[in-house]
Chain A
Amino acid sequence: MTFCRNAIRSAFRFAFVACGLGIGGAVLAAGITVHDARNRDVTIENPARIVSIGGAITEILYALGFEDRLAGVDTTSVFPDAALRDKPNVGYMRQLSAEGVLGLNPSLIFAMQGSGPKETMDVLEAAKTPLVLVPETFSEDGLLEKIRLVGHAMGADRRAACLTSAVSNDLAQLRELRARVTKPVRVMFVMSLLSGRAMVAGHKTAADEIIALSGGINAVDGYDGYKMINDEAIVAAKPDVVLSIQRSKDSLEADTVYTHPAFAMTPVAANKTFISMEGLYLLGFGPRTAAAARDLSLKLYPALAPQAEAFAPAVLTANCRQ
């Protein structure tokens, strides 16, 4: 371990010295230094073979036109479809195997904050391959920062700027859309409803932020994270809408919600307002987040349809691949 750490340290030192002396030359392009989520500087020499862990990162890399450099992705990389179809799969982002990742012989690993298990991340960190841990913050700024970081690490600041401008344009349009909301809808995000027990998103979750972005209010106030909620608290929270994610096959069904004894007492059952959207699109906090929030707004506020239709997310058409 100590040996490895020393080796890395000296490698960094070498890179640093090399940069300082300006002997990087054209072939050995001077390493790019990025500051990642571990609050550490990572030097990237050659981003030619990338393993991307986290759906949002894969999405950004495709949007920036780096799909050819992708050597592997994780199972959460479900957009674009080509990612999991064409690239080797290193498994689920929280259950990575160090060998599976390093076996692809990457020269750069991007991992979303929260990837694991910890042991694997320690091994990946100790290996000589640079590991960039991308911070996961569920906010507009966090989203832009994610794109900037990935773009910078790839030495493609210009493409990243193109994508961030498209995304911030979308976010600005979304703000205008949100400003037109007069009576915010109370939304409850239900992660699962297992045998009558509802697991519901509190604050500090991706669901909470996407609800806010789309102009709704999280009906749950009182805890952070995803937790099992009390049935009576569901009634007391008076949600107008239940939001859930479609997953491969066992997505939550509208009827299960409407017939649940607690939801049956809320406006959700009376107005039949159950919404479900694709998981990565809704909660991934990738480039399409503003588009997802717009789609959600459209469902929450049918009256805003004219304005929402007029808002065509720039990110869906932007070409930031050169």
Chain B
Amino acid sequence: MTAQASADLKRPTHRARHFTRPPASLVLICLLGVLAGAAIIALTFGAAGIPLARLPAALGFWTEHPVNPLTSRDQLVLWSIRIPRIAAAAMVGSLLAVSGAIMQGLFRNPLADPALVGVSSGGAFAAAVAIVFTDSQLGESLRFMQNELLPLSAFVGSLATTVILYAIANRAGRTSIAIFLLAGLAIAAIANAGIGLLVFMADDRQLRDITFWMLGSLSGATWAKTAVIAPVLAAALIACLWITRGLDLLVLGEAEAFHSGVDVERLKRISIVLVSAMTGVAVSICGVVGFVGIVVPHLLRLVIGPAHRLLLPASALLGAILLVGADTLARTIVAPAEMPIGILTAAVGAPFFLAMLLRQRGLVSL
């Protein structure tokens, strides 16, 4: 028994020595291929039930003769409901995974995640405030922007949380990452207490709204929303190019990174702005979707190693794949109802992650 156990323990270490990492281009091409496949599969599933045979016509690839009266409905369903939603799922997945990867690099802590340092909680708290107080006098005066109020307040909540955290952690131009992390935990606790209070004040309908918001969903994704996410994602991915080398060197320690020629303070500022903007947008579009930010970068580190040059773009792709897959399940398995996606990302992501962790134990030192 003990011999067996020690043999088990030794095996992965032994394998690690002979582990060769796949080339970067291959990884990215594979991930792109999988993402395309996931998107195509996602396209074929949905509560409106468009048969595979009608799909090309519905997509507008060719016109049918004679014209099927159902085609125009299918076209509408695809182009104004299903496709924007798949696009939003992919982009939100990228945002969450990349912001998780950056945060883990910045904090040199594998547990760091936007949800952990309170950024998502701040956003969720602001969203809950918006849900409960649209009933009040204040809500009355904001009536004209009823539809924008919730995503906007979620975004502002996330940003405000980051600003507060940054102000707490920043002393004389230096940002203490440890304080940032600890203050983040405290702020998350405060935000959760606030959410608890709002849940207490809420009536039935508001309570349901808050609960569903907290669990996250991509339902209600429109082209207008994807138009908000796309530029943020593009800008963030471009900005990532600046920080990859810095994040790699930061692993050695702040002083070591500084002596290797990295402007550490600037690196921290850029990273924090990036993470808060990405998380803020993700939370405002689909509520709180946990686990993507932790699982995706970790899985990738196990396979492609910790270099951020490859890790960040690969995270963006794998995050997109994960969320497109999870969202396809979310909108089909309990149709006509809708499963909150946060449940699925955790239920699917966590066991998979655990399995990987157990299999590759010893490959990375956590």
Residues of chain A touching chain B, judged by Cβ–Cβ distance below 8 Å, are 75, 92, 94-95, 191-192, 194-199, 202, 220-223, 226-233, 235-237, 247-250, 253, 256, 261-262, 264-265
In the assembled complex, the Cα of A68 lies from the Cα of B139 at a distance in Å of: 36
Instruction: List the A side residues contacting B131 at CB < 8 Å.
Output: 194
Q: What's the least CB distance linking A242 to chain B, in Å?
A: 15
> Does A192 lie within 8 Å of B338, measured CB to CB?
no
Q: Can you list 27 A-B contacts (CB < 8 A)?
A: A75-B203, A191-B205, A192-B208, A194-B209, A196-B147, A196-B219, A197-B217, A198-B219, A199-B209, A220-B336, A221-B336, A222-B335, A229-B337, A229-B338, A230-B332, A232-B46, A232-B47, A232-B82, A232-B331, A233-B47, A235-B81, A236-B47, A247-B135, A249-B134, A256-B147, A261-B81, A265-B80
Q: What's the least CB distance linking B310 to chain A, in Å?
A: 36
In the assembled complex, the Cα of A235 lies from the Cα of B74 at a distance in Å of: 10
Residues of chain B touching chain A, judged by Cβ–Cβ distance below 8 Å, are 46-49, 73, 76-77, 80-82, 84-85, 131, 134-136, 139-140, 143, 146-147, 150-151, 200, 203-205, 208-209, 212-213, 217, 219-222, 225, 331-332, 334-338, 340
Given A199-B209, A232-B47, A261-B222, A227 and B150 touching (CB < 8 A)?
no
> Does B335 lie within 8 Å of A247, measured CB to CB?
no
Q: What's the least CB distance linking A92 to chain B, in Å?
A: 6
Cross-interface CB contact of B150 among A195, A230, A247, A249, cutoff 8 Å = A195
- The residue in chain B whose Cβ has the minimal distance to the Cβ of A219 is B336
> Does A233 lie within 8 Å of B73, measured CB to CB?
no
> Does A195 lie within 8 Å of B220, measured CB to CB?
yes
Instruction: List the A side residues contacting B147 at CB < 8 Å.
Output: 195-196, 256
List the 3 shortest-distance A-B pairs measured between CB atoms, nearest first: A196-B220, A233-B336, A232-B48
Given A94-B204, A222-B336, A250 and B135 touching (CB < 8 A)?
yes
> Does A228 lie within 8 Å of B219, measured CB to CB?
yes
Cross-interface CB contact of A228 among B48, B73, B140, B217, cutoff 8 Å = B217
Cross-interface CB contact of B49 among A196, A236, A249, cutoff 8 Å = A236
Instruction: List the B side residues contacting A229 at CB < 8 Å.
Output: 336-338
- The residue in chain A whose Cβ has the minimal distance to the Cβ of B131 is A194
Most buried by A among B48, B134, B225: B48
Given A232-B48, A235-B77, A265-B76, A226 and B208 touching (CB < 8 A)?
yes
Instruction: List the A side residues contacting B82 at CB < 8 Å.
Output: 232
